[in-house]
């Protein structure tokens, strides 16, 4: 039995598997379990497996189907013949965990005070709560290597800036609604910036250019505290 609800077409050369229509950790876990199952036994014509919060796109190489009647019909048939995203797959899929050291507040996090005021908390409490949660990379999008992290303390949620900043530094850690994320590259951005990391989120010279991949687990560490406790 397949775990996705429905298969939609996304143009001529992609299908979209739908698991739900909300940002939800459980739904997103099923998306990544299904992606991992497809990855294990991936046919040559499947040129990309693109996760989002509640959907998974399969990008197809049309040239591989030159003689077939209709590529997407063939792919649908192939999908039906498989068992994907079942509980067993979810267990098998291993999860990488990353620890990301963040300098919170000050120049690194110009919006920390505003987020604290919005949440009715002291800035230190915002930092503690942001570091306490375990996050999952729901998807990468917006820019190469930009992780949308699911699992933030609901008390820290805050809308993005009405007018985006013209420049947000690379490595900036931000909050937008119930999500938190990290800017891989300097550029304009509307998220509430609470801190910054020195980690390089995206580098095309690495074998895997993205530091964080869809489905990975992430924890933030308060750099100020880590430095204090180190010998």
Partner 1 sequence: MSIAVLAPGLLSSLQDSGRQGWRHLGVGRSGALDPLSFSLANLLVGNPADTAAIEITMSGPRLRFVHSARISICGAQVDASLDGLSIPRWRRVDIPAGSELRIGACRVGVRAYLAVTGGFATKCVLGSMSTDLRAGFGGFDGRALQAGDELAIAGGFQPQCDQVVVDTRWIDPAPDLDFSAPAIIHVLPGADALAAPDALFADEWQVGNASNRQGLRLQGSLLRIADPRERISEPVMPGTLQLPADGQPILLLADAQTHGGYPRIAHAIRADWPRLAQLRPGDSLRFVRCDAGKAQRKLIEQRQRLARMAIAIAARP
108: contact with partner 1 by CB under 8 A: no
Q: Which of 101, 93, 100 is nearest to 215 (CA)?
A: 93
Verify binding: residue 73, partner 1, rule CB under 8 A: yes
48 vs 227 by CB, closer to partner 1: 48
Three-state DSSP class for residue 102: strand
C-beta of 11: minimal distance to partner 1 in Å? 4
Least CB distance to partner 1 at residue 64 (A): 12
**Region near partner 1 per CB under 8 A, out of 91-99, 101-109, 128-136, 209-217:** 209-217
Establish if 1 lies at the interface with partner 1 (CB under 8 A). no
35 sits in the region (left: phi over 0; alpha: psi -120 to 50; else beta) called alpha
- Give the C-alpha separation, 149 to 69, whole Å: 40
In a 3-state reduction of DSSP, which class is residue 158?
Answer: strand
Contact 24, 106 (CB under 8 A): no
Site for partner 1 in 147-176 (CB under 8 A): 148
Q: Quick check: 185 binds partner 1 (CB under 8 A)? A: yes
16 binds partner 1 (CB under 8 A): yes
Residue carrying the six token digits 């570091």: 131
Q: Does 71 bind partner 1 (CB under 8 A)?
A: yes
Instruction: Check residue 12 for interaction with partner 1 (CB under 8 A).
Output: yes
From the list 84, 75, 34, 79, the residue with the least C-alpha distance to 54 is 34
In 41-152, where does DSSP find H-type helix?
71-80, 87-92, 112-119, 123-132
Is 22 near partner 1 (CB under 8 A)? yes
Residues found near partner 1 in the complex (CB under 8 A): 8-14, 16, 21-23, 35, 47-57, 59, 61-62, 70-73, 139-146, 148, 185, 202, 204, 209-210, 213-214
């Amino acid at each position: 039995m397949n775990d996705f609800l429905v298969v939609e077409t996304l143009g001529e050369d992609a299908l979209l598997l739908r698991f739900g229509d909300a940002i939800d950790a459980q739904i997103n876990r099923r998306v990544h379990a299904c992606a991992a199952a497809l990855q294990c036994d991936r046919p040559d014509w499947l040129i990309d497996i693109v996760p989002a919060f509640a959907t998974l796109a399969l990008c197809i190489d049309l040239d591989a189907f030159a003689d077939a009647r209709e590529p997407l019909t063939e792919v649908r048939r192939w999908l039906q013949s498989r068992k994907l995203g079942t509980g067993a797959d979810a267990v098998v899929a291993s999860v990488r965990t990353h620890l990301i050291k963040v300098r919170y507040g000050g120049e690194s996090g110009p919006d920390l005070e505003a987020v604290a005021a919005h949440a009715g908390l002291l800035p230190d409490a915002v930092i503690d709560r942001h570091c306490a949660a375990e996050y999952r990379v729901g998807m990468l999008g917006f820019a190469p290597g930009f992780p949308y992290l699911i699992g933030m303390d609901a008390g820290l949620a805050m809308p993005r800036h009405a007018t985006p900043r013209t420049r947000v530094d690379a490595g900036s850690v931000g909050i937008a609604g119930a999500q938190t994320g990290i800017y891989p590259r300097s550029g304009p951005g509307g998220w509430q910036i609470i801190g910054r990391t020195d980690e390089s989120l995206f580098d095309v010279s690495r074998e895997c250019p993205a530091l964080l991949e869809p489905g990975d687990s992430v924890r933030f560490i308060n750099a100020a505290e880590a430095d204090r406790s180190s010998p």
